[in-house]
Structure 1
């Protein structure tokens, strides 16, 4: 039986109360379960243990900002944790698709939700032959946003009949943490495309805009879903 996993994470929220430019980002990480990644998983677990990384999920935004549980880690230690997860993503046989929505373009949340549903539905429809080559699609999501959970299930029920759902804890799945990492990278990349500079905490991890592009963004986009 051929099964494809879809791990979903988001950055931001669907609320439109805050004025100014802000983004809602969704990343889908796909893994064909025929490709074993246990060796890569074991290696990552050993490397994170050697760095004394707190047990559980690696959350990249607090890691970058030196927030709990990473307050006592030096910039080099935090960069090491980030890069270990990054290279794990690079080595695994996975692909990803990211959707970026600029919230100020929408008058209300219903219009934003409708656009999200449309974009995800079009993506699946445009690649339906690929997804139909599997016997089952399994959705992994932590139900962080009820609206997104509803959208995902509605779209999958419409476009892909044979799918299953797993409500996950981020600490249980490294690929869910990879989706979080990709959201972080794509958000930073979008902000820099709009002319923003790296914050001081971001500079500790990525050093400069040039290094961010060369060492991280250029490499992770190689994992983008080939449409």
Structure 2
């Protein structure tokens, strides 16, 4: 969206066309998702964040345990981008699900379409927060427009049909 790296030579129109094509792919992929979002002001320290995220994730996994137990393996793909997230993920998942049923894999967005989809989902959910708090960036407005209702209808609502 920002026109960085491999997309630096592409104009905004071309990037938006690629985003629309990717949105179409994401809507057709068979997945369900859950997003956890926290404000920095709500967690006083890294330890407080880890504890809160771990608790929330354990509650989510427990509430949906039958769903997760329906699989032989649960694969966790993460890029180890934030140590606090890594710690909370391992703690909650290892506590809730059988260690024999969980596989952790190092992932990069370049290698996995589903990882790119997760990045897209997080972008949409963060953009939703920015719309509600009236703190859109210039890129947000260029890509999604300034009309929050249009953003919800054309982007967010379509993908949230897959939310758990």
Q: TM-score, normalised by structure 1?
A: 0.67
1:97 to 13, 34, 47: 34
What is the distance in 2 between the residues matched to 1:111 and 1:201?
32
Q: Does 1:133 align with 2:73?
A: no
CA contact (8 A) 1:121 1:155 kept: yes
C-alpha distance in 1 between matches for 2:85 and 2:144: 30
For 1:203 and 1:74, the matched residues in 2 are separated by 15
Superposition pairs of residues 171-190 of structure 1, within 5 angstroms: 171-190=110-129
- Give the distance between the partners of 2:117 and 2:13, measured in 1 at CA: 20
Tell me which protein shows more strand as a share of its residues: 1
Structure 1 unaligned regions, length at least 5: 1-63
**8 A contact 1:65–1:202 mirrored in 2:** no
Please, what is the CA RMSD of the aligned residues?
A: 1.4
What is the TM-score normalised by the length of structure 2? Answer: 0.91
Match of 1:206 in 2: 144
Number of aligned residues? 161
Instruction: Output aligned runs, 1:1-227, within 5 Å.
Output: 64-161=1-98, 162-196=101-135, 198-209=136-147, 210-225=149-164
1:219 is displaced (CA, Å) by 0.6
Normalized per residue, the structure richer in helix is 2
Greater relative contact order structure (CA < 8 Å, 6+ sep): 1
